[in-house]
Amino acid sequence: MDVGDRVDVVVAAGARLAEGPVWDARSGRLVWFDVLAKRIFLTDVRTGTSDVIEVPLHVGAVVPRATGGFVAALQDGFWVVGLGPPYPMTRIPEARPELRFNDGKCDAAGRFWAGTMAYDESPAAGALYRLDADARATRVLDGLTISNGLAWSVDGRTMYFIDTPTQRIDAFSFTPSTGEIGDRRPLVHISPEIGAPDGMTIDAEGGLWVALWGGAAVHRYLHGRLDRVIKLPVTQPTSCTFGGENLDELFVTSASEGLSAGERSAQPLAGAVFRLRPGVRGMTPATFFGA
């Protein structure tokens, strides 16, 4: 279904909080989830049909696992899913009922990074974790409010990160061999009037694509400057990733949660998964190389 301006609908899911799209190169399917429905979807983007994985807790991030299935950041830690009943790999000691994981992805070495937030968005309640190949989870950053988009530079030596209420994309120096980060500095400041920065991905030219919650758009930032804006028919895009056979399709998830009845009527596609063809390619999707 074409909705104009290079945007079409992959799944008119009506999801409450569709999030975390990742391309599964093994199957040629898009993996995404509805956080609050506790459901992970494996979608054939040609037909829009999906297989569904039910999980026992709210899900915040999912990545393919080299040894089979997926690793999911569920509310209390990291779980293996997609190989029969889900089972826990590593529970984090800081897990509490008022917290959940919110976003995450793998770096090129196969380490899984995912962050937490409070359900009520309490300031500084969240943290960013790194799950290494030995299934050990390390708390890397504290004092986060809504841990969100992650990406790594083309050369692998910079990590980009969003804590949504800061209205920034921050950059860190990154050591590929160890996964150590340092030298945090602001890269992009985003005005609240144009939306809140949410999920993020990077293209092969180094352009950062950011979903703007409340902004009805995805933005591309190149060398720290706004380069492109693609408008969407929904106000709450949540995240984005490149996929497709040539990694030249940009998939965008969205949410219907929190919209008024009037807003839902005006946005019948809220909660859908969209596809853009922006004319650039993404990076090869990373996989968790571990237990």
3-state secondary structure the chain: CECCCCEEEEECCCCCEEEEEEEECCCCEEEEEEHHHCEEEEECCCCCCEEEEECCCCEEEEEEECCCCEEEEECCEEEEECCCCCEEEEECCCCCCCEEEEEEEECCCCCEEEEEEECCCCCCCEEEEEECCCCCEEEEEEEECEEEEEEECCCCCEEEEEEHHHCEEEEEEEECCCCEEEEEEEEEECCHHHCEEEEEEEECCCCEEEEEECCCEEEEEECCEEEEEEECCCCCEEEEEEECCCCCEEEEEEECCCCCHHHHHHCCCCCCEEEECCCCCECCCCCECCC
Let me know if 198 is a catalytic residue. Answer: yes
Catalytic residue (one of 198, 203, 227, 248): 198
The catalytic site residues sit at 198
